[in-house]
């Protein structure tokens, strides 16, 4: 493959320098666009992409009326690697020290590791680091946006992280492996079958397949089943004071049940207390009668 792969050059202070010329080869179109963006920041220009797709990129200076610089690159060899085919003209426009080519997203990508180590890094520190590393200055509004994006890149999006909690719990809370059957709504841990709600193992599978967990809840626990259960009305009974009077029906008296005559045999009154079932019977002392025989 003709040409040389892209590599940074360094100045006397050890700062990275980008030198673009014909024949440089990049890994892919995304790699080429990243280097082109950084080149625009380095040179203080704003690049306008006249042609921009996965197969071909043609870029010119945004101030094309005064600047004749033009770059053309396209796929090369295997259809994936990108190569600069042609560069014409030189930059004759005035350098923009405000970093017009440095978007908030690009600034965030360059300093996300800094915010990962120090989330409290201020906007002023970000501006100082941007000046020392790339020699450009950005407006405070852009720096605030870049700081927010960098913190999200470093810490991860909160919404996406929250959605990963069920899968994380399923991964760390139990070392055993269970077989989940989403068609039959079953899991080997049997928690799903008992509660009717997907267990942690089932939730891991459901979220991995990007499915709706509500569809895997038992039918008896759904809102529709609840409404069917209580769709009947219970009539409210008004207070007795407003019941209507009916003169045609006399008031009814409750029936009187007479007791049948039975003969009861009255026994002696019970004086002693009732003994417990496990209490031993009382031992009675027997009296000894002495008889005397006269004459003996």
CA–CA gap between residue 59 and residue 70 (Å, rounded)? 6
Q: Are 118 and 194 in a shared domain?
A: no
Is the residue at 197 inside a domain? Answer: yes
Domain encompassing residue 37: 4-88
Q: Which residue has the higher pLDDT, 249 or 21?
A: 21
Q: Are 148 and 189 in a shared domain?
A: no
pLDDT value at 66 more than 50: yes
Q: Which residue has the higher pLDDT, 72 or 136?
A: 72
Task: Please check whether residue 213 is in contact with residue 166, taking contact to mean a CB–CB distance below 8 angstroms.
Answer: no
Task: Please check whether residue 242 is in contact with residue 218, taking contact to mean a CB–CB distance below 8 angstroms.
Answer: no
Section 222-244 average pLDDT: 84
pLDDT at 186: 93
pLDDT at 146: 84
Please give the share of the chain, as a percent, with pLDDT higher than 70.
84
**Helix, strand or coil for residue 93?**
coil
Q: Which residue has the higher pLDDT, 14 or 81?
A: 81
State how beta strands 180-181 and 82-88 pair.
unpaired
Range among 2-6, 31-35, 108-112, 133-137 with highest mean pLDDT value? 31-35
Model confidence pTM above 0.95: no
pLDDT at 171: 65
* CB contact burial 114-141 (16+ within 10 A = b; e otherwise): ebeeeeebeeeebbeebeeebebebeee
What band does 156 get if pLDDT is binned at 50, 70 and 90?
Answer: low
pLDDT (tens digit per residue) in 83-113: 999 998 887 777 766 555 677 887 887 887 7
Is the residue at 118 inside a domain? Answer: yes
Is the residue at 38 inside a domain? Answer: yes
- Give the other-Cβ count within 10 Å of 237's Cβ: 7
pLDDT value at 198 more than 90: yes
Domain count within the chain: 3
What band does 284 get if pLDDT is binned at 50, 70 and 90?
Answer: low
| CA pseudo-torsion sign 100, 103, 108, 110 | negative
User: Which residue from 89, 55, 22 is spatially nearest to 6, judged by alpha carbons?
Assistant: 22
């Amino acid at each position: 493959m003709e040409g040389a792969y892209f590599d940074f050059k360094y100045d006397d202070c050890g700062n990275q320098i980008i030198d673009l010329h014909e024949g440089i080869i990049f890994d892919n179109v995304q790699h080429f666009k990243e280097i082109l963006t950084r080149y625009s920041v380095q040179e203080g220009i704003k690049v306008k992409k006249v042609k921009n797709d996965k197969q071909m990129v043609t870029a010119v200076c945004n101030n094309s009326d005064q600047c004749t610089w033009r770059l053309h690159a396209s796929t090369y060899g295997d259809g994936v690697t990108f190569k600069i085919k042609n560069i014409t003209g030189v930059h004759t426009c005035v350098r923009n020290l405000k970093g017009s080519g440095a978007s908030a997203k690009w600034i965030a990508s360059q300093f996300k590791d800094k915010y990962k180590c120090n989330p409290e890094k201020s906007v002023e520190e970000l501006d100082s680091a941007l000046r020392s590393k790339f020699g450009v200055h950005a407006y405070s509004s852009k720096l605030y946006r870049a700081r927010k994006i960098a913190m999200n890149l470093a810490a991860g999006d909160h919404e996406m992280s929250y959605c990963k909690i069920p899968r994380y719990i399923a991964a760390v809370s139990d070392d055993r492996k269970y077989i989940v059957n989403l068609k039959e709504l079953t899991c080997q841990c049997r928690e799903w079958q008992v509660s009717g709600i997907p267990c942690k193992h089932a939730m891991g599978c459901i979220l991995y397949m990007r499915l709706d967990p509500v569809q895997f809840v038992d039918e008896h626990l759904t809102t529709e089943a609840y409404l069917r259960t209580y769709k009947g009305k219970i009539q409210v009974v008004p207070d007795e004071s407003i019941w209507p009077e009916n003169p045609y029906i006399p008031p009814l008296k409750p029936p009187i049940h007479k007791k049948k005559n039975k003969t009861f045999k009255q026994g002696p009154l019970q004086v002693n207390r009732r003994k417990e079932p496990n209490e031993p019977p009382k031992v009675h002392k027997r009296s000894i009668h002495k008889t005397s025989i006269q004459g003996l």
